Amino acid sequence: MHINYLCDLWQSTHFLVIMNHMDLRSRYEWLKQEVHYHNYRYHVLDAPIISDAEYDRLVKELKQIEAEHPDWVTPDSPSQRVGGRPLDRFEKVRHPAPVLSLANAFTADDVYAWFDRIRKLDERVERAALVVEPKIDGLSVVLHYREGLFVQGATRGDGDAGEDITANLRTVRSLPLRIPLPRSSEDVATAPPPALPSYLVVRGEAFIPIRDFEALNRKLREAGEKTYLNPRNTAAGSLRQLDPKLTASRPITLLVYQIVYAEGGEIPPTQWQTLNYLRTLGFPITDLARRFDTLEAAIAYAQEWEARRDELPFEADGMVIKIDDLALAAALGVVGKDPRSAIAFKFAAREVTTLLHDIGVNVGRTGVLTPYAVLEPVEIGGVIVERATLHNFDYIAEKDIRIGDRVLVKRAGDVIPYVIGPVIEARTGQEHVYHPPSTCPACGQPVEHFEGEVAWYCVNAACPAQLMRNVEHFVSRGAMDIVGMGAKIVEKLIEAGKIHHVADLYTLTRADILEAITKKDRKTDKQPPGKLADNLLAAIEQSKRQPLARLITALGIRGVGEVMAADLARAYPDLDALSRATVEELQQIEGIGPNTAASIVDWFKREANQQVLQKLKAAGVWPKGETPKQEGPLSGLTFVITGALPSFTREQAKAFIESHGGKVSDSVSKNTAYLVVGENPGSKLEKAQRLGVKIIGEEELKRLVT
């Protein structure tokens, strides 16, 4: 009976469906693991081993399966980082153990004094090893894992209870949703992680790396939006607002450094081992931590990083020195909220006051006007500062910054120095209120303001300041990389009327360049002017061979940076094809939203830009996109398309076929696998029929890949 039943089942289609399901299910589990793993390689280790396109394909497949089987989706799926609607408020979370703060030391003597105090309390301190870590200036967060699953995340709050910011923290890509990190088939080298506590609460610092912060501000500035003041407030503000979608759009990352609480499992006995243990679980851990046997060595290491603080990829306000032995650390106890076992050795503050002589205005590439402070030169941490950003005109008004004020200026990391605000007590009555200009300081045309934006714009397309920025951007390293085309030469060439738009770079003569090389350049440069001009001409010539992605970057389309330019260059064979793209079509590309799509279409629609393109083309600056060879169900098959397809444009059909591994050719031959036919086909149809090539429509084409 039993056997019969199985035989029946075996033959039934029902069983086959179950079999397929099981295959799909294990494929799904595999995909989840792969995506987690590659996410980890990218966001935690900063060492990806697959391309963005390959990663996107895995995510796409994962999402497809989840769309068909919503009941399979678990909260630790990599697709579940951003979900849900904005909250009304944050709930309070009690921490399972106090989340402590740190006492400060400002000099090496302060650190010795601290060590003396604790040495008297416990003689083990004398020989205790120390761990030194950077003290990141971000937002302290507490992360709860139950049975390896990220279940809750909170702010530090008052140390006893914080706010539940779980939904926001989930969007932080370097935060593991599950620990230990599901390992990939590719990852055979690492040892299996040790037994995990069933309940583990860790602590770390969430922050925005300086480079990402600057890129974010650049993007906002170009879009006429308000820029952020500093990385710390931006990270804290983005995590402590109620809409996870906004958090997800901010480049927040995380470094974890402490186990706050553990239940049902062993945890390491030292700080040094804790860091390594947390690393094996898949948490992001600083690679700047070091362990020392003496206090002298620990202090020297902290001082080394003070001297090199501009090299730190994040804002740090000091180095933390910690007793390595956690049992000893606990025995030393707490004063108020500060553990005796650790001390923050603070870097010298980089805030000074100086006089605001004047307010100048810069005109950006997109015409955005940005005010800057002209300061009485002042040294901040070894650098003389005489200019600082004032963000935007609203900021000047909000902070009531007046010309003649004594102002507080901050320089942090590599971030451009900025004015924090006026020192009101220092006012003499001689200061005067600043009024934003009503005309562009570069071209004198009236400035404009757009609804919903904070920025003021110069909308004059012929404004020399904008042209200057445009050319600077066009020749810059990430774009056409024309070495030697410095700001001074560009300025002279514009002044002399030799450059009216970027395409004019390609018609410059040796005489034009010689004339533009200023007297000062001639004196300071080691090379004779003739040689300089020849080198520059050679660099211009060479730039004609830059790939399409760089040319797209160089055009300076609002919202299109290097990464997006590379995506566009993969999707479109050249600038002719890209200029025909529609807003809908562009949005098919991962990462391009309606605003950027509209900005691209708008750029290509403008007559002046079309003229620039024609001139670039005439000058031979017309690279073809390299469509990468993809593996897929259509690998090895060549397609020819004829007639108008019902939903795909030609470009889309081509991109579709290529993204699944196929090739598209213009003419039918015996090597053609399929002719894809739409309405009003041409002579290709006849030829295909003659050669016996398979003929299909758009629908069949789509079915070939499923």
Cite the active site residues: 135
- Taking the least distance from each CB to ligand IVH, the nearer of 101 and 527 is 101
Residue 486: burial class (beta carbons within 10 Å; 0-12, 13-18, 19+): middle
CB 423 within 8 A of CB 408: yes
Residue among 55, 31, 33 nearest 187 (CA): 33
Both tokens of residue 393? Answer: 């005109």
**Smallest gap from residue 32 Cβ to ligand IVH (A):** 31
CB 189 within 8 A of CB 354: no
Of the ranges 130-138, 221-229, 462-470, 585-593, which one interacts with ligand IVH (CB under 6 A)? 130-138
Binding mask 51-70 for ligand IVH (x = CB under 6 A): --------------------
- Taking the least distance from each CB to ligand IVH, the nearer of 40 and 257 is 257
- Taking the least distance from each CB to ligand IVH, the nearer of 101 and 353 is 101
CB 36 within 8 A of CB 81: no
Give the count of residues interacting with ligand IVH (CB under 6 A).
15
Which of 58, 259, 320, 489 touches ligand IVH by CB under 6 A?
Answer: 320
Which of 66, 76, 133, 504 touches ligand IVH by CB under 6 A?
Answer: 133
Give the position of tokens 């083309």. Answer: 617
Coil, strand or helix: which one is 497?
coil
Instruction: Write b or e for each residue in 148-174: b if 16 or more Cβ atoms lie within 10 A of its Cβ, otherwise e.
Output: bebebbbbbbeeeebbbbbbbbbbbbb
Cα dihedral sign for 35, 39, 45, 46?
positive
**Smallest gap from residue 316 Cβ to ligand IVH (A):** 8
CA dihedral 561→414→470→362, nearest 10 degrees, is: 130
CB 133 within 8 A of CB 288: yes
**Smallest gap from residue 320 Cβ to ligand IVH (A):** 4
What's the rounded Cα separation, in Å, for the pair 557 and 565?
A: 10
Q: What residue ranges in 284-367 does DSSP mark as E strands?
A: 290-292, 316-323, 334-335, 338-339, 342-346, 351-363
What's the rounded Cα separation, in Å, for the pair 56 and 192?
A: 28
Residue 402 sits at φ, ψ, to 5 deg, of: -115, 150
For 110-133, give the DSSP string: HHHHHHHHHHHH-GGGGG--EEEE
Binders in 157-186 for ligand IVH, by CB under 6 A = none
**339 touches ligand IVH (CB under 6 A):** yes
- Taking the least distance from each CB to ligand IVH, the nearer of 89 and 94 is 94
Both tokens of residue 313? Answer: 């990829």
Cα dihedral sign for 464, 465, 471, 474?
negative
**Smallest gap from residue 283 Cβ to ligand IVH (A):** 13
Binding mask 98-117 for ligand IVH (x = CB under 6 A): --xxx---------------
Binders in 252-271 for ligand IVH, by CB under 6 A = 257-258
**205 touches ligand IVH (CB under 6 A):** yes
**Smallest gap from residue 421 Cβ to ligand IVH (A):** 23
What's the rounded Cα separation, in Å, for the pair 324 and 289?
A: 12
What's the rounded Cα separation, in Å, for the pair 541 and 529?
A: 18
What's the rounded Cα separation, in Å, for the pair 442 and 384?
A: 27
HSE-CB for 659 with a 13 A CA cutoff: 21
**354 touches ligand IVH (CB under 6 A):** no
Instruction: Write b or e for each residue in 635-674: b if 16 or more Cβ atoms lie within 10 A of its Cβ, otherwise e.
Output: eebbbbbbeebeebbebebbbbbbbbbbbbeeebeeebbb
Binders in 208-247 for ligand IVH, by CB under 6 A = none
**155 touches ligand IVH (CB under 6 A):** no
**Smallest gap from residue 138 Cβ to ligand IVH (A):** 7
**136 touches ligand IVH (CB under 6 A):** yes
**Smallest gap from residue 273 Cβ to ligand IVH (A):** 16
Which of 344, 390, 490, 675 touches ligand IVH by CB under 6 A?
Answer: 344
- Taking the least distance from each CB to ligand IVH, the nearer of 282 and 339 is 339
Residue 443 sits at φ, ψ, to 5 deg, of: -120, -10
What's the rounded Cα separation, in Å, for the pair 113 and 168?
A: 41
CB 579 within 8 A of CB 597: no
What's the rounded Cα separation, in Å, for the pair 313 and 604?
A: 37
* Residues contacting 227, CB < 8 A, separation 6+: 217, 220, 221, 391, 392
Binders in 628-657 for ligand IVH, by CB under 6 A = none
Return the bridge partners of 334, or none.
Answer: 339
Q: What angle do CA 332, 336, 339 make, to 5 degrees?
A: 35
- Taking the least distance from each CB to ligand IVH, the nearer of 136 and 380 is 136
Binding mask 14-53 for ligand IVH (x = CB under 6 A): ----------------------------------------
Binding site for ligand IVH (CB under 6 A): 100-102, 133, 135-136, 140, 156, 205, 257-258, 320, 339, 342, 344
